[in-house]
C-alpha cells in the first residue's frame, strides 16, 4: 500500500476550479484510505508567465512521496507536459503517460488516429489563429448547426454550437481565447454517450441527457441540469459496439489507469469526439457514477487507481 501521496491540484488552466473540486474529493478519499497527503498547486510556481517546473519537481522529490495523484484538468496538467517532467525524474504518477496525454488532449490528432482505426468522427476542419478564415467557405462546407471548439481544451470551455450564421464570428473569437488552433466540426444530431475505462476494463456505458440545450460547462457542473442514465438504454449490440470502440481507442492511444471516451450516436453510427485522460472526480462526475453502478464506491475507486488494483 502506498503511504504518502502528493496530490497535484488547481493549476493554471481554464479548468482550475473543476480541478480543485476533483482534488478536494480525492484528498478526502485518500485520507480515509489511510494515506498521508501533501497538496502541490502548479499555480504556486507560476512566475513571469511560466511554471517553474524545476522548483515544483524539487518540492515533489523532497516530499519523498510514494506516488503523485494527478488531480489536474486541462492545460499542461493533462496535455503531457507535467507527465513528461515526472517521467524524467522517474516519479510514479496516476493517469496516462506523456504520450497518451498529449495525443488525447489534441482533438485534431485524436480524430485523425480514430479515423485511421476505421472509427467514425464528425467532419471537421482545423484553423490556426494567424491563418485565413473565410466565413463564407465554412458556411458552404457545413450545414447549421455546427460546432466551434478549441483544439486542446476540456469541460466544453470555449465551445459553441453555432445555430445561426451570425453567431460564427463570436464563436471563433471565443475558441481562440483558449487555444491558437480551433476546429470547426459537424454537429451530430442524436445522443451523448460516454464510456469510462478503469484499468483495461470498461465501466457501464453512460448516456448524458442535458435538460436544455447541449452538454456545456453549465450542464456539466450544475446539479440538476443534466440527467444521467447508467447503464445507457442501448441494445446489447449497440453497447458492445461502443465499448469495443472505447477499448480500441484507449489501448491505441496508450491511456493508463482510467479515462473517459466520448461519442455521439445518431441511431445508426457512433461518432468519436474525444478522450479525457483525467476525467473529473466530483460529485457530478461520470467515472465515479459508472463505477458505483457495479459496486465500486468512491474510496474504492481511488484505491484502485492509486494501487493499480483492477480486480
Q: How many CB atoms lie within 10 A of CB 296?
A: 18
- Confirm if 227 and 211 have CB atoms less than 8 A apart: yes
Residue 13's nearest CA partner among 39, 42, 40 is: 42
Residue 62 DSSP label: H
- d(CA 171, CA 263) in angstroms, rounded, equals 22
Omega within 30 of 0 (cis) for the link into 231: yes
Residue 29 DSSP label: H
- d(CA 194, CA 279) in angstroms, rounded, equals 11
Q: What is the 3-state secondary structure (H, E, C) of 32-60?
A: HCCCEEEEECHHHHEECCEECHHHHHHHH
Distance of CA 90 to the CA centre of its chain: 24
First-to-last C-alpha distance (Å) of the chain: 15
| Residues involved in catalysis | 15, 155, 221, 260, 262, 274, 276, 280
**Alpha carbon distances (Å) from 241 to 86, 187, 227, 294:** 36, 21, 23, 20
- d(CA 76, CA 105) in angstroms, rounded, equals 10
Helical (H) or strand (E) element with 227: strand 226-229
- d(CA 226, CA 237) in angstroms, rounded, equals 26
Q: Is 205 exposed, middle or buried (0-12, 13-18, 19+ CB in 10 A)?
A: buried
Amino acid at each position: 500500500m502506498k503511504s504518502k501521496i502528493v496530490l497535484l491540484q488547481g493549476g493554471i488552466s481554464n479548468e482550475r476550479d473543476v480541478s480543485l473540486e476533483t482534488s478536494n474529493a480525492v484528498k478526502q478519499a485518500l485520507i480515509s484510505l489511510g494515506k498521508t497527503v501533501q497538496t502541490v498547486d502548479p499555480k504556486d510556481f507560476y512566475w513571469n508567465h511560466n511554471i517553474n517546473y524545476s522548483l515544483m519537481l524539487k518540492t515533489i522529490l523532497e516530499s519523498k512521496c510514494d506516488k503523485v495523484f494527478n488531480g489536474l484538468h486541462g492545460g499542461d496538467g493533462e496535455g503531457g507536459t507535467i507527465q513528461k517532467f515526472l517521467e524524467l525524474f522517474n516519479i510514479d504518477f496516476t493517469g496516462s503517460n506523456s504520450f497518451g496525454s498529449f495525443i488525447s488532449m489534441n482533438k485534431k490528432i485524436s480524430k485523425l488516429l480514430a479515423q485511421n482505426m476505421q472509427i467514425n468522427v464528425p467532419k471537421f476542419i482545423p484553423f490556426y489563429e494567424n491563418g485565413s478564415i473565410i466565413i463564407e467557405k465554412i458556411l458552404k462546407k457545413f450545414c447549421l448547426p455546427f460546432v466551434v471548439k478549441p483544439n486542446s481544451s476540456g469541460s466544453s470551455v470555449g465551445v459553441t454550437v453555432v445555430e445561426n450564421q451570425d453567431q460564427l464570428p463570436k464563436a471563433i473569437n471565443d475558441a481562440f481565447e483558449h487555444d491558437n488552433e480551433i476546429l470547426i466540426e459537424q454537429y451530430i444530431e442524436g445522443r451523448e454517450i460516454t464510456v469510462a475505462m478503469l484499468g483495461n476494463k470498461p465501466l457501464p456505458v453512460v448516456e448524458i441527457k442535458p435538460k436544455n440545450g447541449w452538454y456545456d460547462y453549465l450542464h456539466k457542473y450544475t446539479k440538476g441540469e443534466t440527467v444521467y442514465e447508467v447503464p445507457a438504454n442501448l441494445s446489447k449490440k449497440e453497447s458492445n459496439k461502443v465499448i469495443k470502440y472505447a477499448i480500441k481507442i484507449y489501448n491505441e492511444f496508450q491511456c493508463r489507469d482510467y479515462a473517459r471516451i466520448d461519442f455521439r450516436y445518431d441511431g445508426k453510427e457512433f461518432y468519436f469526439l474525444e478522450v479525457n485522460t483525467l476525467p473529473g472526480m466530483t460529485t457530478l462526475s461520470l467515472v465515479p457514477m459508472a463505477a458505483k453502478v457495479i459496486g465500486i464506491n468512491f474510496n474504492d475507486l481511488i484505491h484502485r487507481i492509486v494501487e493499480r488494483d483492477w480486480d
